[in-house]
């Protein structure tokens, strides 16, 4: 990989355990080419699209969704959403930490959160949307800290929403799969990068493996996923480097090479660009939490 600094998925955080907001965006933003930065965060995210259409790469899977769809993005997963179509797009975005709903697992004696907060898009049948929207509106109302009972109402409404989504996944035929067939090859390439980030991967190695030209890969991958080829590769490597820093005792150099970087200094520079701290400081900060 060329050692220039490439935009990485900055890991955003929030000071509270729970946050919910209604966001409106207009299509001209996407039309002018202002694509949102890729990002990830140490909390889970659920968003409900009230109007408009979107496409998104979550992890290594391409999705397209529209009005009435709910998107689940687990913590520490790379994602980028691009609004398509015309007119205004409106969504409700709900962010929460695992501890807000961890009590559900104990109550049901099962790992509801761990097993079901996975990258997925669920289409809510029109006849059930009023029920789902009522839960979101209840959380929006209580997020204004109405009184000392608000947090309890939020936790219960969120738990009810999660259980409803689990039921949808288990018993309903409404899980949206991947993008259209025309993007199947880009889906396959994204999955290959996601699974083999530790190997030597370049435009040339991928074009040779999949039998396509460099120019076609660069242009098609960007249009299908919202990521540049090198940008996506670097984001995947950084995601795994962060996990290794938190969960292993390997040295910074060992982690750099294990994640596909051939230069530990470049890894350190890219990491600071993404996190605002060095790999060592990132590890120490997590130990002090």
149 and 259 share one domain: no
| Cα end-to-end distance, the chain, whole Å | 34
Q: What is the pTM of this model?
A: 0.80
Residues 225 and 95 in one domain: no
Structural domain boundaries, residue 86? 10-176
Is residue 238 domain-shared with residue 126, that is, in the same domain? no
Residues 26 and 143 in one domain: yes
**pLDDT for the residue numbered 181:** 61
The confidence score (pLDDT) of residue 168 equals 86
Question: Which residue among 135, 151, 176 closes a domain?
Answer: 176
pLDDT in tens, the chain (289 residues): 444 445 455 556 667 889 999 998 775 444 444 555 677 888 999 999 999 888 888 988 888 888 999 999 998 898 888 777 777 789 999 999 988 888 888 888 778 777 888 888 899 988 999 999 999 999 999 998 889 999 999 999 999 999 999 888 887 776 776 666 668 899 999 999 999 999 999 999 999 999 999 999 999 999 888 889 999 999 999 999 999 999 999 999 999 999 999 999 999 999 998 888 999 999 988 765 4
CATH code (residue 255): 1.10.10.60
Predicted local confidence at residue 4, as pLDDT = 45
Indicate whether 234 and 92 sit together in one domain: no
Residue 186 lies in a domain: yes
Q: What pLDDT score was predicted for residue 5? A: 45
Q: Do 137 and 74 have their domain in common?
A: yes
For position 113, what pLDDT does the model report?
77
75 and 19 in a single domain? The answer is yes
What local confidence, expressed as pLDDT, does residue 12 receive? 60
Number of structural domains in the chain: 2
> Is 147 found in the same domain as 21?
yes
CATH number at residue 59: 2.60.120.280
Residues 171 and 224 in one domain: no
pLDDT for position 81: 83
Same domain, 133 and 228: no
Regarding whether 197 and 169 lie in a shared domain, the answer is no
């Amino acid at each position: 990989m060329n050692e220039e600094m490439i935009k990485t998925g900055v890991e955003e955080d929030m000071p509270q355990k729970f946050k919910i907001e209604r966001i409106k965006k207009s299509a001209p933003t996407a039309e002018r080419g202002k694509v949102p930065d890729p990002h990830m965060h140490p909390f889970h995210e659920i968003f409900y699209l009230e109007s408009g259409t979107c496409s998104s790469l979550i992890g290594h899977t391409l999705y397209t969704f529209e009005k009435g769809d709910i998107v689940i993005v687990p913590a520490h997963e790379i994602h980028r959403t691009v609004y398509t179509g015309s007119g205004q797009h409106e969504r409700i975005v709900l962010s929460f930490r695992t501890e807000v709903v961890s009590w559900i697992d104990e109550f049901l004696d099962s790992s509801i959160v761990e097993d079901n907060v996975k990258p997925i898009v669920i289409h809510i049948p029109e006849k059930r949307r009023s029920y789902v929207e009522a839960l979101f509106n209840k959380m929006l109302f209580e997020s204004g800290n109405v009184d000392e009972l608000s947090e309890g109402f939020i936790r219960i409404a969120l738990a009810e929403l999660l259980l409803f989504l689990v039921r949808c996944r288990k018993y309903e035929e409404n899980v949206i799969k991947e993008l259209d067939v025309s993007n199947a090859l880009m889906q396959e390439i994204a999955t290959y990068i996601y699974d083999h980030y530790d190997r030597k991967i370049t435009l040339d190695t991928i074009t040779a493996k999949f039998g396509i030209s460099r120019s076609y890969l660069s242009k098609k991958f960007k249009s299908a996923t919202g990521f540049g080829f090198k940008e996506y590769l670097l984001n995947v490597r950084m995601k795994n480097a962060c996990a290794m820093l938190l969960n292993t005792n390997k040295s910074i150099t060992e982690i750099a090479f294990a994640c596909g970087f051939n230069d530990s200094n470049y890894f350190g520079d890219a990491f600071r660009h993404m996190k605002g701290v060095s790999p060592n400081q990132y590890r120490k900060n997590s130990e002090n939490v």
